Structure 1
Amino acid sequence: MKEMRLPFQKSFERLTQYPPLKMLALVVTALVVLRVAIGMFIVIPNDAGIEGLTAGIINPILVLGFLVRALMSAALNWLIIMSLFLLVLIYVRVSKRFIKEDVALSGVIFLMIIITVYRIILQFIQVIFDIPIQTTRGFSIDSLALLNPDNLWISKIGLDLFLQVGLLGMLLKYTAKLPKKDVIMWMLISVVVLYLSGVGIEYLNHLHFNYRFDGWRY
Structure 2
Amino acid sequence: MTQVWTVVVPVKRLGGAKSRLRGALPGVPHEELALALAADTVGAVRACPVVAEVLVVTDDPRVAAEVAAAGARVVPDHPGAGLNAALRHGAAAVGGGWVAGLTADLPALRPAELAAALEAARTGPNPVRRYVPDTPGDGTVLLAAPPGVPLDPRFGVGSAAAHAASGALALPDAGPSLRRDVDTAEDLAAAARLGLGPRTAALCEAGASTAGRPV
Same fold, TM-score > 0.5, yes or no = no
TM-score by length of 2: 0.32
More helix by share: 1
Higher Cα radius of gyration: 1
TM-score by length of 1: 0.32
